Amino acid sequence: MAKTKGEPIATSKPSKMAKKPAVKETAEIAVTEKKETEKKETKKKAVPAKEEKTAVKTQPKARAESADDKVEVPIEKKLIALYSLQQVDSQVDKIRIIRGELPLEVQDLEDEIAGLETRVENYIQETLAVEKSITEKKTFIKDCHALIKKYEDQQMNVRNNREYDSLTKEIEFQNLEIQLAEKRIKEFQASLDVKKEEIDRYQKLLSDRKNDLEIKKNELDDIIAETEKEEQDLITFSEKNRKYIEERLLTAYTRIRKNARNGLAVVQIERDACGGCFNKIPPQHQLDIRMHKKIIVCEYCGRILVDDEIVQSVR
């Protein structure tokens, strides 16, 4: 019994059971450490990716800022461009004034000629219709004469007075129809004569207008040939100056030119007054204009004001 109590079998079993939990714990620790290292590596990889994204995001902003810096034009340069644009547009206006009212006169003559041609064509169509009506009436009169002759022949072979009276009435009716047709022919003929006179008058007027149009067109073509190259050069120079001016300034410039009688939207200060409406400009405004820090407009007429320095730089 003492040997059975001290048998090594009982003592060996607890030792094996004690070893198994230790192995499991070490395995679990190894797995967790591996997971933590993987997480750290993924975080390290993610950080450069984020930095690259932020760098990519910041690059367009930097480019946009640099582009804005390039587009930004000083106020003085804008004023020079505006005044140059005004000078060019004024020269173009002078060239168009040289042409005068010739383009409008040519257009009016062309419209008048088109109207006269339409009117003559309508009269010709009406004349053809009247001539056709006259021809129809003449044919109708011939038919009536043929019927009268037929009825007269039948009167020679009647058997009683009733047939004779009936034929007599038919003959009288045909004679009345002939008289009415002849009356209509006279009316148509009178209308035809009037229409032919109108056609002759309008054709003569049309010929005169065509001659006038040819003369006006030749004059306009000569003027355009003389000034076309100069005008094209001025327009090209005007487009070159427009790229230095903002869209809102161009809109305001165009609006002021449209409302002004002389087409001046940018004017020089002359004797302390606006060069457009000739109202006095306060000294403080004159100082602001000379500083070239902002665009100043006249309080009375709304024109853009420039000083002698801008004018001299353009000349």
Long-range contacts of 256-259 (CB under 8 A, 24+ apart): 256/302, 256/303, 256/304, 257/89
User: Do 271 and 307 form a contact (C-beta atoms < 8 A)?
Assistant: no
The tokens describing 274, both together, are 């606006």
Q: Tokens standing for 238?
A: 């005007």
272: three-class secondary structure by DSSP? coil
Architecture in CATH for domain 83-241: Orthogonal Bundle (1.10)
126 or 234, higher pLDDT: 126
Whether this model's pTM surpasses 0.85: no
Residue with token string 């004349």: 127
With CA atoms as reference, report the closest residue to 273 among 284, 263, 264, 282. Answer: 282
The winner for highest mean pLDDT among 17-21, 59-63, 153-157, 311-315 is 153-157
| Contact criterion met (CB below 8 Å) for 138 and 184 | no
Length reported for the chain: 315
Whether 290 shows a pLDDT value over 80: the answer reads yes
Sign of CA dihedral 237, 240, 245, 250: positive
Report domain extents, the chain: 2-71, 83-241, 247-314
Task: Using the structure block, give the residue that is written with the tokens 């505006």.
Answer: 82
HSE-CB for 6 with a 13 A CA cutoff: 2
* Amino acid, res. 90: S
Which residues, 6+ apart, have CB-to-CB distance to 43 below 8 Å?
none
pLDDT > 90 in the chain, percent: 29
